[in-house]
Structure 1
Amino acid sequence: MDVPELLESASLLVPEETATENDITVRDIWAYLVHDEWEIALGLLEELGDGLPLPLAFWEKLADAAEQLRLERSSAWCHWRCSEIRNGVIRADLTLRLAAEGRRTTSIAGQGVLRPMWDIGHLSPAGERAVNIARLWVEDMPSLEPGGRATVRLVPLTPAQWKHVQPGQLITMHEDRSVAGTAVILEVHRPATAMPAG
């Protein structure tokens, strides 16, 4: 499919009554599509999708359109949202250790590249701390500096290992044996069950 077909197809998966914070609806998006304003339509569809759970097909179509338009951040975000649907997502308030206190002296890229280890309370068969991997996306910021604090989104590599995680729980981030940061769980969204294709 070409970009207009992908965007039109994705827009059909959004309930008609859905609106963004600025009261933009699917009808408004169709007006942008008619005038070949594909980047604007894509951005508005992403915004609509952030407000409610939409099927995997919606985000896959947006990811394909973003790739064709060579919009790297949009493409990364849409692929990320696909991962959230498949694996679940944990939102947390993360505080990184200061550069003088920890191993990390550079900022963390915000677009889901880093796959740190997390101590979420598991123990190895020998009774030692066991860590679990989850990719990290920093919300509303391109990166997070050492000592910085931000809301992050975690996509677990193995969702079943994160079933016990609850809002309010404190977890620690590791890039080696030392603690790189601490996070308080804000929200937990389990993986979607088989969702209908669009």
Structure 2
Amino acid sequence: MDVAGLLARAAAMVPADVVNETGVTVVDVREYPDHDEWEVALDPLADLDTGWRPPTAWWDLLIDRAELMWLSDATGSVRLGLPFPALWRHLRPGMTITVHEGRPAVGTATITEASNAS
């Protein structure tokens, strides 16, 4: 199933009267795909978990949707702001590093430019 289909199925499971902390409802979430903003819809949809007891199938749909988005958005440019620049000065264009957001690793990155600016 595609990303839009998974979003529609997950949104259909949320009761109409559920509102998240920022006032977003499932009606709001359903409008994102109309504007080709599928990526934006995942966070507010996941935040609609209060005020009802989401079934496991709902969480599974959100996980499937996130995994599909990862596969479709697997490349891009990123500028890293490192907390300890001195530890990264050895990086040179063409080198490959492993990217982590905790454990396990979430991907790899190829250095295209390095700056030793403080």
TM-score, length-scaled by structure 1? 0.35
- The correspondence of residues 40-79 of structure 1 with structure 2, limited to 5 A, is 40-49=40-49, 51=50, 52-70=52-70
Cα deviation, 1:63-113, whole Å, max 9, x if unaligned, reads 111001118xxxxxxxxxxxxxxxxxxxxxxxxxxxxxxxxxxxxx986x5
- CA distance in 1: counterparts of 2:17 and 2:3, whole angstroms: 24
- Counterpart of 1:24 in 2: which secondary structure? coil
- CA distance in 1: counterparts of 2:101 and 2:67, whole angstroms: 19
Displacement after TM superposition at 1:22 (Å)? 1.2
- Counterpart of 1:27 in 2: which secondary structure? helix
Q: What is aligned with 1:34? A: 34
Displacement after TM superposition at 1:62 (Å)? 0.7
- The correspondence of residues 77-156 of structure 1 with structure 2, limited to 5 A, is none
Displacement after TM superposition at 1:33 (Å)? 1.7
- CA distance in 2: counterparts of 1:4 and 1:110, whole angstroms: 26
Q: Percent identity?
A: 40
Aligned length, in residue pairs: 75
Displacement after TM superposition at 1:61 (Å)? 0.7
- The structure where helix makes up a greater share of residues is 2
Cα deviation, 1:162-186, whole Å, max 9, x if unaligned, reads xxxxxxxxxxxxxxxxxxxxxxxxx
- The structure where strand makes up a greater share of residues is 1
Q: What is aligned with 2:18? A: 18
- CA distance in 1: counterparts of 2:101 and 2:21, whole angstroms: 24
- CA distance in 2: counterparts of 1:36 and 1:67, whole angstroms: 18
- CA distance in 1: counterparts of 2:101 and 2:36, whole angstroms: 30
Divergent runs of 4+, >2 A: none
Mind listing any 5+ residue stretches in structure 2 that lack a counterpart? 72-99, 105-118
- CA distance in 2: counterparts of 1:46 and 1:62, whole angstroms: 7
Cα deviation, 1:20-76, whole Å, max 9, x if unaligned, reads 111100110111121121111111111112x242011111111111001118xxxxx
Mind listing any 5+ residue stretches in structure 1 that lack a counterpart? 72-108, 115-198
Root mean square deviation, CA, Å = 2.2
Q: What is aligned with 1:2? A: 2
